[in-house]
């Protein structure tokens, strides 16, 4: 079966992938040390630099300072210091103080987090900036910031003290269930090496107590220009002027001649597998991980590159099998996948991870090990090999077609890897030729041999994770021994392949006709009304040569359902997806689409049902065939339903163990009421789900094409696309009577009701380690007459609040790591005339014992903004951030797709898409022009209750205090004042004893979340 797409007129363009000639590749040929396409060099002081001109996106530059210094270099008393240095860089340098670097970058439109960030790993620290370069001075200023990071970070006791709280909060964020599981796995993998005890986040003791001198010594010892590289990729007129800027800002810096050698820390090998049973009471479910460690392979020659392709094909083929096993009638696990990851500088691993039912880890482990043994005994089939070959060929073809449209951030990351890990950068043209030459020569037997690297005797680590202990290490070792015996006896049967149909559609539909066509020249959109009533619009772009993205929507969703049907129908998309919504089981469809780039997904929302997807231009026909199948397939419940419901129940049980889920559930209940639509799904709700009702509802959701509007954006040729649209979208049969046809003005609104009074509530939850999360919410109601502008005001206000909360709670008080602001405007139905209701919420995590104080700080800052307004600098920063995001978006297909859909769904839409689009654009520009401290102050008073302290809700997640903690707290508080009367003390103790008795009784009955 030929899995490669056939040639079409869409493929006949200059520099087409298939016209590339094969290389006469000598396997011993060196790939070269010089990175491709970049001005690469080294200053006299040892600093490396990489500079490349790239216009995607326009007028932007992706910058980085890469440092070969990470947590593995720390001494015992320095554990966590590498990460602390990274924090201090944004806090204060010789030139900038009090987080002025962050304020400066925000002032030019580089938002904190998204466009200015850093990361510390065991082996390196990387500082990254993404900045505009449409003004001559901006690039120089940004490079000067990196120069400050390199040698000028200020480390004083005052600076350190201000940043401890933020670092401590980041540390606290790693002490949840996910963090504990990751830490334990890291220790198991790195056992016997220094890496095992050098997690980048460090230890609580060091974070709280380390001195400025110790931090300064680490910084001075390892931050040398010889250990660093500056990478600059962006829309530069030339590279030499950028090199000169680097020379200007870095050239006068010096490094000592006696630089310390960065040690290579080895990880010991082992023959016997390291086995662990990890019990995590807050785990999201049961899981099994099988890892095999090995030294990082050299990538120097064509042979090395070929070996990399073989490895990639092995992982792809293995993942195909693991997915198919998970879709069996009685699967041993819910999901399972394999990947390769570089753990540290000297070591990589293959890791197979699976999630399974509770008490199902033994079965999951046995299945994983059996499959690896099956591959070693019988190998992969020729069809499996052809499938993964086609997948890789499709991926490299896509990369080749978009070789001139690569994002600057992606190129920056490539050059970082070249500096940090000596990974060659050969250029996409040469890499495409290499793959096209090498892939056809790789045999199934070569791919299968890679299973030898995943033997349990090859540095293997096996780990199970369970919320409640059900297996032991000996149980796991017995499974290993059992599979080894079966393999030795060759008692494992070969893989049984499924029949794979050749075509997605067996009988192609007749073409529909175009009954009306409109051209909206102001936005470059063509709109078609098809004979079956479906509205389709398309916009041709040249942002990416191998991308077409699309989405369709129809009004009428879950808000129309009575409570008796709600839970069944809300499961419709999940159940139908596992059965197969395109006429085939997911495992079969996966093989049918091998070598094609086309995917479609569905969503059932409150007010709309939608489908969306993307594809390569050459696979547009395949994507539209999937949409046709979606509308013409009748999904019927089968054996898959039992597995789906079992997975759903496991997910609900996991949520019940998770403190954050209890918190989120209570937030919804406080803010939106206890309606069935907002309350969390429970096990007894799942037991009432009727699969027939779920499938019937799903079928009806995607039945009537006349109710749907579809937008298509990307590299499409209208001469090719229009006939396909007419055949596969216009050919969808329209039912004789309308199905789920709703007017947007007649939809049922959600049962949303924000409290009329102040609510301050603490949710106490049992936790392994103390966590705290805060959500502070305010009701929002936007009036119909000024809706267009008000929605844009909400967007600007949310960005302002996020920026100010960070300035106050992190930079001023130093007590949080990050703050977020979220907006919900779905409290009313999307009618053309009604008001819009919802809420705006401030979210952050912090030390549990200061959470209420931080809430008060947040309220005080919001009240100050309502009464005084923001500063001119604040206004300038949020305008810049919004404008830069808008400019970036204008170069993205997804951004245009969203704007077109918003224009159709706007209350201003009355049949003219172009006018609706212009009204929204005009509203945005009007708000931008009007923004000032005064207008923002007025908007804060108008949109959020004024004063803000009169109407809000705050819900705080806090750890449940144990009986011991309560007693200890009592005696600590009473011991401070012995002058109180003895009778008061006795009475207090009596009340405390009664309280403790009640708490214990409650604990016996149930675990209170």
DSSP 538-582: EEE--S-TT-EEEEEEEE--GGGS-HHHHHHHHTHHHHHHHH-TT
Catalytic residue numbers read: 86, 163
Burial grade of 868 (CB within 10 A; 0-12, 13-18, 19 or more): exposed
Give the pLDDT of residue 962: 58
Q: First-to-last CA distance in the chain?
A: 56
- Residue pair 229/47 in contact (Cβ under 8 Å)? The answer is yes
What angle, rounded to 10 degrees, do the helices at 81-91 and 157-173 form? 120
CA angle in degrees (0–180, nearest 5) for 987-990-991: 90
**Alpha carbons within 13 A on the beta-carbon side of 800:** 26
Closest C-alpha among 102, 103, 106 to residue 132? 106
From the CB of residue 424, how many other CB atoms can be counted at a distance below 10 Å?
21
pLDDT of residue 556: 96
Given its phi and psi angles, is residue 621 left (phi above 0), alpha (psi -120 to 50 degrees) or beta?
alpha
Nearby residues of 443 by Cβ (< 8 Å), 6 or more positions away: 385
Smallest Cα–Cα separation from 300: which of 179, 424, 437? 424
List strands edge to edge, sheet with 460-466.
274-279, 460-466, 286-295, 347-356, 335-344
Measured between alpha carbons, how far is 576 from 111 in angstroms, rounded to an integer?
41
What are the Cα distances from residue 877, in Å, to 60, 91, 552, 872, 924?
17, 19, 36, 9, 17
- CA 867, distance to chain mean position in Å, is 37
Q: Name the DSSP class of 691.
A: H
Read off the DSSP letter of residue 734. P
> What gap in Å lies between CA 598 and CA 398, rounded to an integer?
12
Q: Tokens 């060929």 label which residue?
A: 393
Q: Detail the DSSP E strand segments found in 654-770.
A: 709-714, 759-765
DSSP 348-405: EEEEEEEEE-TT-HHHHHHHHHHHHHHHHHH---HHHHHHHHHHHHHHHHHHHHTTTS
pLDDT at residue number 14: 38
What is the DSSP-derived secondary structure letter of residue 30?
Answer: B
Buried b (16+ CB within 10 A) or exposed e, 645-666: bebbbbbbbbbebbbbbbbbbb
Report d(CA 803, CA 870) in Å as an integer. Answer: 11
Entry pTM: 0.91
C-alpha 109/C-alpha 132 separation (Å) is: 7
Pairing mode of beta strands 48-53, 39-42:
antiparallel
**Which three-class secondary structure state does DSSP give residue 123?**
coil
β pairing state of 548-555 and 709-714: antiparallel
Q: Using CA atoms of 285, 291, 297, 301 in order, give the dihedral in degrees to the nearest 10.
A: -70
Rounded to whole angstroms, the Cα distance separating 235 from 59 reads: 5
Please count the other Cβ atoms lying within 10 Å of the Cβ belonging to residue 528: 22
Residues in the chain: 1009
How far apart CA 704 and CA 532 sit, in angstroms, is: 9
According to the 3-state scheme, what is the secondary structure of 239-267?
Answer: CHHHHHHHHHHHCCCCCCCCCCCCCCCCC
Successive 10-residue mean pLDDT values, the chain, 1009 residues: 38 61 86 94 96 96 98 97 97 90 91 90 97 94 96 95 94 94 94 95 96 97 96 97 98 86 92 95 94 93 96 97 94 96 93 95 98 97 95 94 95 97 94 94 96 94 96 97 97 93 92 97 97 98 97 96 93 94 94 94 96 96 98 93 91 90 93 87 92 96 98 97 98 96 91 91 94 97 88 96 96 94 88 89 96 97 98 96 95 97 93 95 96 97 96 96 52 42 35 32 29
Close Cβ partners of 120 (under 8 Å, ≥ 6 residues apart): 70, 71, 82, 83, 86, 200
Peptide bond connecting 947 to the previous residue in cis, omega within 30 degrees of 0: yes
> Could you give the strand order of the β-sheet that contains 39-42, starting from the edge strand earlier in sequence?
39-42, 48-53, 228-234, 60-67, 125-132, 116-120
SS3 label, residue 479: helix
Cβ-based neighbours of 700, under 8 Å, separated by 6 or more = 739, 740
CA distances from 105 to 86, 96, 329, 360 (A): 17, 12, 55, 51
CA distances from residue 984 to 221, 806, 989, 992, 996 in whole angstroms, order as listed = 60, 45, 9, 12, 18
Helix (H) or strand (E) holding 149: helix 136-151
3-class secondary structure, 811: helix
Identify whether the C-beta of residue 365 lies closer than 8 Å to the C-beta of residue 568.
Answer: no
> Residues 6 or more apart from 37 whose CB is under 8 A from it?
52, 425, 427
* Cα gap 938→959, rounded to integer Å: 39
Element (H, E) at 51: strand 48-53
Neighbours of 302 (CB within 10 A): 18
How far is 55 from 15, CA to CA, in rounded Å? 19
Q: What is the pLDDT of residue 834?
A: 84
Rg over CA atoms, the chain: 30
pLDDT for res 990: 34
Task: Judge contact between 958 and 774, C-beta under 8 A.
Answer: no
Distance CA 674, CA 668 (A): 8
What are the C-alpha distances in Å from 977 to residues 895, 969, 981? 64, 14, 10
Which residues have CB under 8 Å from 801's CB, separation 6+? 821, 840, 842, 862, 865
Do 821 and 841 form a contact (C-beta atoms < 8 A)? yes
For 451, half-sphere exposure in the C-beta direction (CA atoms, 13 angstrom radius) is 23
Q: Could you tell me if 196 and 130 are in contact, meaning their C-beta atoms sit under 8 angstroms apart? A: no
Please state the three-class secondary structure of 988-1006 as a single string: HHHHHHHHHHHHHHHHHHC
């Amino acid at each position: 079966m030929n899995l490669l797409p056939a040639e079409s007129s869409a493929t006949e363009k200059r520099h087409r992938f298939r016209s590339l000639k094969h290389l006469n590749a000598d396997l011993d040929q060196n790939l070269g040390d010089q990175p491709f396409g970049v001005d690469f060099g080294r200053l006299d002081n040892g600093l490396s630099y990489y500079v490349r001109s790239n216009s995607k996106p326009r007028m932007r530059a992706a910058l980085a300072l890469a440092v070969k210094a990470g947590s593995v270099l720390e001494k015992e008393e320095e554990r966590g210091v590498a990460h602390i240095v990274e924090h201090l860089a944004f806090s204060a340098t010789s030139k900038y103080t009090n987080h002025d670097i962050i304020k400066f970058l925000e002032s030019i439109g580089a938002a904190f987090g998204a466009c200015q960030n850093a990361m510390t790993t065991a082996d390196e620290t990387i500082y990254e900036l993404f900045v505009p370069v449409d003004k001559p001075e901006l690039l120089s200023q940004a490079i000067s910031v990196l120069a400050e990071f390199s040698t000028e970070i200020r480390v004083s006791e005052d600076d350190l003290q201000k940043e401890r709280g933020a670092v401590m909060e980041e540390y606290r964020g790693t002490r949840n269930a996910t963090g504990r599981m990751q830490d334990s796995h890291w220790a198991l993998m790195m056992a016997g090496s220094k890496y095992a005890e050098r997690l980048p986040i460090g230890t609580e003791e060091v974070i709280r107590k380390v001195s400025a001198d110790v931090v300064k010594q680490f910084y001075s010892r390892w931050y040398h220009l010889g250990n660093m590289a500056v990478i600059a990729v962006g829309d530069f007129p030339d590279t030499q002027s950028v090199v000169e800027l680097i020379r200007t800002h870095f050239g006068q810096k010096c490094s000592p001649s006696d630089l310390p050698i960065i040690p290579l820390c080895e990880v010991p090998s082992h023959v016997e597998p390291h086995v662990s049973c990890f019990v995590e009471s807050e785990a999201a479910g049961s899981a099994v991980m099988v890892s095999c460690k090995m030294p990082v392979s050299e990538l120097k020659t064509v042979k090395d590159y070929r070996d990399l392709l073989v490895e990639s094909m092995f992982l792809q083929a293995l993942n195909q099998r693991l997915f198919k096993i998970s879709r069996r009638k009685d699967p041993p696990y819910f999901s399972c996948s394999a990947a390769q990851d570089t753990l540290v500088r000297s070591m990589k691993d293959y890791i197979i991870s699976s999630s399974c039912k509770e008490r199902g880890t033994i079965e999951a482990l046995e299945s994983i090990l059996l499959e690896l043994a099956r591959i070693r005994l019988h190998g992969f089939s020729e069809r499996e090999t052809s499938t993964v070959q086609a997948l890789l060929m499709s991926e490299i073809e896509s990369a080749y077609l978009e070789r001139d449209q690569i994002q600057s951030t992606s190129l920056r990351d490539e050059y970082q890897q070249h500096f940090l890990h000596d990974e060659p950068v050969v250029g996409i043209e040469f890499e495409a030729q290499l793959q096209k030459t090498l892939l056809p020569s790789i045999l199934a037997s070569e791919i299968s041999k890679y299973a030898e690297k995943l033997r349990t005797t090859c540095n293997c680590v096996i780990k199970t994770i369970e919320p409640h202990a059900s297996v032991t290490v000996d149980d796991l070792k017995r499974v290993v021994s059992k599979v080894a015996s079966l393999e030795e006896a060759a008692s494992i049967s070969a893989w049984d392949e499924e029949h794979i149909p050749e075509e997605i559609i067996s009988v192609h539909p007749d073409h529909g006709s175009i009954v009306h066509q409109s051209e909206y020249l102001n936005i470059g959109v063509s709109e078609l009304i098809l004979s079956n009533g479906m509205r389709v619009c398309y916009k041709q772009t040249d942002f990416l040569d191998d991308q077409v993205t699309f989405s369709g929507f129809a009004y009428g969703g879950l808000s129309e359902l009575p409570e008796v049907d709600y839970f069944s129908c809300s499961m419709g998309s999940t159940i139908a997806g596992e059965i197969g919504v395109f006429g085939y089981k997911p495992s079969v469809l996966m093989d049918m689409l091998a070598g094609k780039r086309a995917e479609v997904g569905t969503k059932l929302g409150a007010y709309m049902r939608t489908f969306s997807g993307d594809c390569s231009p050459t696979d547009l026909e395949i994507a539209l065939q999937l949409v046709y199948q979606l509308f013409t397939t009748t999904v019927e419940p089968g054996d898959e339903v039992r597995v789906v419901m079992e997975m759903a129940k496991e997910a609900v049980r996991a949520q019940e163990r998770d403190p954050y889920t209890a918190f989120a559930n209570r937030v919804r209940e406080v803010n939106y009421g206890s309606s069935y639509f907002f309350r969390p799904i429970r096990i007894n709700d799942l037991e009432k789900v009727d699969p027939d009702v779920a499938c019937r509802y799903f079928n009806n959701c995607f039945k009537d094409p006349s109710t749907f509007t579809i937008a298509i954006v990307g590299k499409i040729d209208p001469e090719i696309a229009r006939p396909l649209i007419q055949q596969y979208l216009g050919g969808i049969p329209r039912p004789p009577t309308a199905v789920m046809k709703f007017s947007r003005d007649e939809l049922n609104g959600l049962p949303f009701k924000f409290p009329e009074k102040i609510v301050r509530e603490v949710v106490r939850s049992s936790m392994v380690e103390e966590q705290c999360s805060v959500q502070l919410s305010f009701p929002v109601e936007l009036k119909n007459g000024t809706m267009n502008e008000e929605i844009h005001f909400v967007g600007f206000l949310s960005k302002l609040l996020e920026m100010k909360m960070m300035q106050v709670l992190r930079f001023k008080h130093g007590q949080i790591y990050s703050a977020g602001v979220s907006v919900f405007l779905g409290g009313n139905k999307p009618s053309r005339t009604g008001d819009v209701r919802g809420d705006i919420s401030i979210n952050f995590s912090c030390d549990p014992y200061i959470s209420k104080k931080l809430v008060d700080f947040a309220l005080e800052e919001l009240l100050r903004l309502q009464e005084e307004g923001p500063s001119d600098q604040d206004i300038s920063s949020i305008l810049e951030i919004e404008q830069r995001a808008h400019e970036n978006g204008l170069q993205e297909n997804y951004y245009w797709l969203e704007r077109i859909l918003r224009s159709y769904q706007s209350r201003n839409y009355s049949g003219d898409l172009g006018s609706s689009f212009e009204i929204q654009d005009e509203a945005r520009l009007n708000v931008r022009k009007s923004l000032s401290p005064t207008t923002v102050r007025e908007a804060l008073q108008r949109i959020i209750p004024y004063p803000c302290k009169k109407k809000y809700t705050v819900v705080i997640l806090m750890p449940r205090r144990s009986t011991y903690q309560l007693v200890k707290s009592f005696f600590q508080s009473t011991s401070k004042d012995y002058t109180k009367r003895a009778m008061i003390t006795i009475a207090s103790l009596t009340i405390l004893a009664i309280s403790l008795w009640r708490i214990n009784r409650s604990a016996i009955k149930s675990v209170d979340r």
